[in-house]
Structure 1
Amino acid sequence: MDTILQQSFSVSFNYPVCFTEKLFSAENPVFVNVLEKGKKVKTFFVVDSGVVEAFPNLLGEIKNYASYHKERFYLCAEPLVVPGGEACKNDPAIYQQVVQATNDFGIDRHSYIVAIGGGAVLDMVGFAAAISHRGIRLIRIPTTVLSQNDSGVGVKNSINYFGKKNYLGTFTTPIAVLNDFNFLQTLDDRDWRSGISEALKVALIKDLDFFELLEANASAMARREIEPMKTQIIRCAQMHMDHIAGKDPFEFGSSRPLDFGHWAAHKLEHLSNYRVRHGEAVAIGIALDSTYSHLLGWISEEDLNRILQVIQTLGFSLYEPELSGENLIQGLREFQEHLGGELTIMLLEKLGKGVEVHEMDEQLIRKAIEFLQVKSQEPKLI
């Protein structure tokens, strides 16, 4: 006789995503307000080296802030400064430093690990926090456009392994996400524009009005005007949060609509040895899948040109040499493996509306690549 006991339960997750300025000014209560109340809590900060370089007073500001709010929290050790970018996800020794610190400084499940940096650092620190003691409380402080409007607000953590992006990772919700617009001031032009590709992605598949807003403000954002940038960051973050709160936040299925343009982007990053940054690769991936959608007859040439024009106005390329060849096609197969079974790719039925497909024509992909190679050599109308 077989005995089957059926278990079923649900867990509710709730965390704030805050937007502020001068986060570690003594009078700013945003950080301490997300900490557990009624006790003095232990914190450990892990900071992106690029942020420390751009803001040399940051570590001192954190220490002064902790001193000012000493009844609420304390630093259990000096902040750990780690390399930013994909380097921190490619070298296992770096996430292991964070795990080692949890042991050395007695950082437990009631402590807080605070990650400050771009999306790669947030991914890496989040992974280390998730696997230590089965999960240490995590506060994310994104410092780039890309991490403030997309990766920083989500529930995914990861490192790269076996030469594959995000091969090891977890789904773990943060305690809070704290965005300080002041961190954007020192970004170089590449990092300034990089995150806008994620806004373009979500607008194209979900919201025509948002796409038209990005289209109208592309030149202003390329000129580094802060107000339209703030607008797109908050709206993009809200759209990503709405998606996460939907039917499949932990991606048990193979449907990943917010990965529009990403199957090619992930492979392009790797093929270029991460010379092409994530947001830049996503822009090219969007261009590729939009061109593929046009070649299928789904979107018009006029609409395709609007998309490519916005991409170029923002300062992105449409083509990189690594895009050609069989290695990119291999990326499609790896993406299917990453999904865990059925291939699911988001394409464009029209501007503002995505549609999922479960197969792609490799010859049509090559044709789309050739189209973008030619298009990238034409004079830019900007």
Structure 2
Amino acid sequence: MKIINVELGDRAYPIVIGNRAMHSKEHLERAIKGQSVLIVTNDMVGPLYADPLVETLSALGKTVQVHMLPTGEQYKNLETLNSIFDVLLENEFDRRTTIVALGGGVVGDMAGFAAASYMRGVPFIQIPTTLLSQVDSSVGGKTGINHPLGKNMIGAFYQPQLVLTDLNAFKTLPQKELSAGMAEVIKHGAIFDAEYFAWLEGNMGALMAKDETSLTDAIVRSCEIKAEVVAGDERESGQRAILNFGHTFGHAIEAGMGYGAWLHGEAVGVGMVLAADLSQRLGMLSAEEVARIRSVVQAAGLPTAPPPLGIDRMIEMMKLDKKAEAGQIKFVLLDGIGRAVIQAVPEDVLRETLQVCA
């Protein structure tokens, strides 16, 4: 087991990475103080992993219930969130109940938001089962749901007690989901660590072939980077916003196309290519560096051009981004690979990027 600590004072917690990590009785027993546990999962992950997890928790003397959500980004909404509250209230779960998120980013975001809101806050644990959730959404305490006008616009910062990253989950992970998660892995190198980015370029073939050693190395390094950024800026008041590289474009694609039409990682992959092009137009990134970013995104099996939403529609959706201020869109850009900056961009330059990259 590899353990990475997210250093947030009295809200600090470990990320435990390893085979069968979700069945680590030592860490589960330490994190779960109360008697009752609600596992929130979905109808794709639940049939694979819920029953063995129930057995592990029952062996610790816990009373366990499972709530199954429908699978897909299109269900990350208020109606689905309310179904979690219904179960909590109907079964009289109390403040010492622990909510366990077993699944990908959608499950983790919604279960975490339910935990942040129910009785004004109950403990929760993240057990991410996709690459994207293992390297990104399970770490840092961002929880929430989507609104038809914007992705993740309703939510809360709420840290888990524990993250259990089980490497065995890769055995059942579809290749498309692996590609989607690789977008966030690439992002970490692009914004923070040029040497790591170069390593990803050289090892993408092994990563996409699910080589366990390579994937473990990538997960560990990505979690280290995210933990360091989050520890320095928990509520995204400054530096943490660099983790949104590619996301301003990506969220606009997701919302504009309708949630679920594109996977989050697919939209972020395109978003990184667009942000790289924008960086070059502003004199911060070389043509060679832009080509490297496009090439590694493509090698991960991700699209590199946006869908035909139209320039005006894309800009309209981006103005609803959380980083926008007074109608001005802010972007995470690269001042060289491994160095991210945040700044507003003139609309005429943005239009050039959208026109050329379409």
The TM-score with structure 2 as length reference comes to 0.91
Q: Provide, for residues 235-262 of structure 1, a one-character-per-residue CA deviation record: whole Å limited to 9, x for no partner.
A: 111111111100x311245971111111
Q: Distance in 1 between matches of 2:58 and 2:96?
A: 20
What is the 5 A alignment of 1:151-170? 151-170=137-156
Is residue 65 of structure 2 the alignment partner of residue 47 of structure 1? no
Q: Provide, for residues 253-288 of structure 1, a one-character-per-residue CA deviation record: whole Å limited to 9, x for no partner.
A: 597111111111001011222311111111100000
Contact 1:23–1:30 (CA under 8 A) maintained in structure 2? no
How far does residue 344 in structure 1 lie from its aligned partner after superposition?
3.5
**Which of 236, 240, 243 does residue 251 from structure 1 map onto?**
236
**Which of 19, 22, 25 does residue 21 from structure 1 map onto?**
19
Fraction of identical pairs, as percent? 30
What is the 5 A alignment of 1:332-343? 332-335=318-321, 343=329
Q: Provide, for residues 45-70 of structure 1, a one-character-per-residue CA deviation record: whole Å limited to 9, x for no partner.
A: 111211124x1xx3331332233222
Q: Provide, for residues 308-330 of structure 1, a one-character-per-residue CA deviation record: whole Å limited to 9, x for no partner.
A: 11111111111132353211111
What is the 5 A alignment of 1:75-154? 75=64, 77=65, 79-90=66-77, 92-154=78-140
Q: Provide, for residues 21-66 of structure 1, a one-character-per-residue CA deviation record: whole Å limited to 9, x for no partner.
A: 22455x7533223223xxx62111111211124x1xx333133223
Letter matched to residue 63 of structure 1: V
**Which of 225, 228, 231 does residue 217 from structure 2 map onto?**
231
Q: Distance in 2 between matches of 1:12 and 1:237?
A: 20
How far does residue 162 in structure 1 lie from its aligned partner after superposition?
4.0
Is residue 239 of structure 2 the alignment partner of residue 266 of structure 1? no
Contact 1:124–1:158 (CA under 8 A) maintained in structure 2? yes
Q: Distance in 2 between matches of 1:319 and 1:267?
A: 13
**Which of 23, 33, 36 does residue 30 from structure 2 map onto?**
33
Q: Distance in 2 between matches of 1:93 and 1:335?
A: 23
CA RMSD of aligned residues (A): 2.2
Q: Distance in 2 between matches of 1:249 and 1:69?
A: 32
Contact 1:153–1:177 (CA under 8 A) maintained in structure 2? yes
Distance 1:63 1:199, change over 3 A: closer
Q: Distance in 1 between matches of 2:325 and 2:10?
A: 25
Contact 2:298–2:304 (CA under 8 A) maintained in structure 1? yes
SS in 2 for 1:16: strand
Is residue 310 of structure 2 the alignment partner of residue 347 of structure 1? no
How far does residue 341 in structure 1 lie from its aligned partner after superposition?
7.9
Distance 1:306 1:150, change over 3 A: same
Contact 2:25–2:56 (CA under 8 A) maintained in structure 1? no
Q: Distance in 2 between matches of 1:107 and 1:189?
A: 38
Q: Distance in 2 between matches of 1:184 and 1:223?
A: 11
How far does residue 296 in structure 1 lie from its aligned partner after superposition?
2.0
Is residue 58 of structure 2 the alignment partner of residue 67 of structure 1? yes
Letter matched to residue 272 of structure 1: M
Deviates more, 1:172-181 or 1:251-260: 251-260
The TM-score with structure 1 as length reference comes to 0.86
Q: What's the counterpart of residue 196 of structure 1?
A: 182
Runs of 4+ in structure 1 deviating by more than 4 angstroms, as ranges, are: 336-343
Contact 1:347–1:355 (CA under 8 A) maintained in structure 2? yes
Greater gyration radius: 1
Letter matched to residue 83 of structure 1: P
State how many pairs are aligned. Answer: 350
Contact 2:257–2:309 (CA under 8 A) maintained in structure 1? no
Contact 2:332–2:341 (CA under 8 A) maintained in structure 1? yes
Q: Distance in 2 between matches of 1:254 and 1:341?
A: 21
Instruction: Structure 2: give runs of 5+ residues left out of the alignment.
Output: 1-7
Distance 1:24 1:142, change over 3 A: closer
**Which of 274, 279, 290 does residue 276 from structure 2 map onto?**
290
